[in-house]
């Protein structure tokens, strides 16, 4: 397994390394599902989830219209599907809402409508470096197309884990079937600072090897707190640094060469809150 708790970024040149840390692209915004604080996680009471878009977790720079999401789903502690409803906007956050009917671990997720965007050559190259996609950069370099613009189709698949009450059922390791998904292989609500969380990345329900995972905490700024590559099983270890909100993120890109776009990217995030007192 390639494992690195440092700020490891593929080094093509010193210039591109700087670009990785400073690139701020219009489409390069993660989408996070950020649940209300744990004091609002009560059985039978509507629970709000923010849909925040940005690169400085969890600060949002744009409010998503949650009514336009292609899919919205809640998985209850017993594994059954529940409703995740659009609930308007508040400031720069889109809002979603569901009512937990039982104590335990709930999973919420959405899928955005796919969009196509055009990027100038230098912006696309910076984006590839910033999002840990060196194979695409190397391919463009090999084909001598680094000076050519790009047409890209992209969609996003954020997910959040929410613990309601101090106990109850629920399976954090259950995959939802999202096109791109980060699946924790342990319940993060049972972890404490100093632990590690093993996760598996699935792309179209198959393990994704050599995927560049990053993790973030509030107030850590735009670059990820750290990165790690998944192994041949699509798995990696993510360190738990402290309690509170945390997000793990990933972008994966393919080259379908369609008539109106050449590249297709898939974005995913996993958000959860490391508790002050781990769940037994």
| 132 vs 136: CA distance, rounded Å | 9
Q: For the whole model, what pTM was predicted? A: 0.89
Span 118-144, average pLDDT: 94
In a domain, 36, yes or no: yes
pLDDT in tens, 87-126: 999 999 999 999 999 999 999 999 999 999 999 999 999 9
| Whole-number pLDDT of residue 77 | 96
Confidence of residue 280 (pLDDT cuts 50, 70, 90): low
- Percent of the chain residues topping a pLDDT of 70: 90
Q: Return the axis-axis angle of helices 121-130 and 134-142, rounded to nearest 10°.
A: 140
Helices (H) and strands (E) in the chain, counts: 3, 19
In a domain, 7, yes or no: no
Average of per-residue pLDDT values in the chain = 90
| Whole-number pLDDT of residue 133 | 93
| 89 vs 235: CA distance, rounded Å | 35
Span 9-24, average pLDDT: 37
Span 232-251, average pLDDT: 97
Q: Is the pLDDT of residue 21 over 90?
A: no
pLDDT in tens, 62-95: 999 999 999 999 999 999 999 999 999 999 999 9
- The residue segments making up the domain with residue 56 are 14-274
In a domain, 63, yes or no: yes
Confidence of residue 222 (pLDDT cuts 50, 70, 90): confident
In a domain, 2, yes or no: no
In a domain, 78, yes or no: yes
Tell me phi and psi for residue 14, to 5 degrees.
Answer: -60, -35
Q: Dihedral angle at the C-alpha atoms of 65, 129, 153, 25, nearest 10 degrees? A: 40
| 162 vs 165: CA distance, rounded Å | 10
User: How many domains are contained in the chain?
Assistant: 1
In a domain, 279, yes or no: no
In a domain, 191, yes or no: yes
* Neighbouring C-beta atoms of residue 188, cutoff 10 Å: 24
pLDDT in tens, 147-182: 999 999 999 999 999 999 987 899 999 999 999 999
Span 226-236, average pLDDT: 97
In a domain, 6, yes or no: no
Does residue 205 or residue 17 have the better pLDDT?
205
């Amino acid at each position: 397994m390639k494992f690195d708790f440092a700020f490891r970024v593929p080094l093509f040149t010193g210039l591109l390394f700087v670009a990785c840390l400073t690139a701020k692209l219009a489409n390069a915004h993660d989408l996070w599902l950020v649940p209300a604080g744990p004091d609002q996680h009560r059985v039978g009471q509507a629970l709000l989830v923010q849909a925040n878009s940005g690169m400085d977790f969890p600060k949002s720079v744009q409010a998503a219209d949650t009514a336009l999401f292609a899919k919205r789903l809640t998985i209850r502690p017993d594994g059954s599907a529940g409703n995740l409803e659009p609930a308007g906007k508040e400031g720069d956050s889109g809002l979603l809402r569901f009512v937990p009917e039982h104590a335990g671990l709930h999973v919420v997720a959405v899928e955005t409508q796919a969009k196509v965007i055009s990027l100038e050559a230098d912006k696309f190259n910076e984006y590839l470096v910033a999002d840990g996609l060196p194979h695409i950069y190397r391919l463009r370099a090999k084909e001598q197309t680094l000076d050519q613009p790009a047409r890209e189709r992209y969609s996003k698949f954020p997910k959040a884990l929410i613990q309601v009450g101090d106990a109850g059922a629920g399976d954090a390791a259950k995959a939802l079937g999202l096109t791109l998904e980060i699946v924790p292989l342990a319940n993060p609500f049972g972890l404490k600072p100093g632990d590690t969380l093993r996760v598996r990345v699935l792309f179209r329900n198959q393990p994704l090897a050599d995927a560049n995972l990053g993790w973030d905490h509030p107030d850590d700024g735009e670059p990820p707190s750290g990165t790690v590559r998944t192994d041949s099983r699509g798995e990696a270890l993510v360190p738990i640094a402290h309690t509170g909100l945390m997000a793990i993120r990933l972008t994966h890109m393919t080259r379908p060469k369609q008539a109106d776009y050449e590249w297709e990217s898939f974005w995913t995030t996993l958000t959860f809150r490391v508790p002050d007192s781990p769940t037994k």
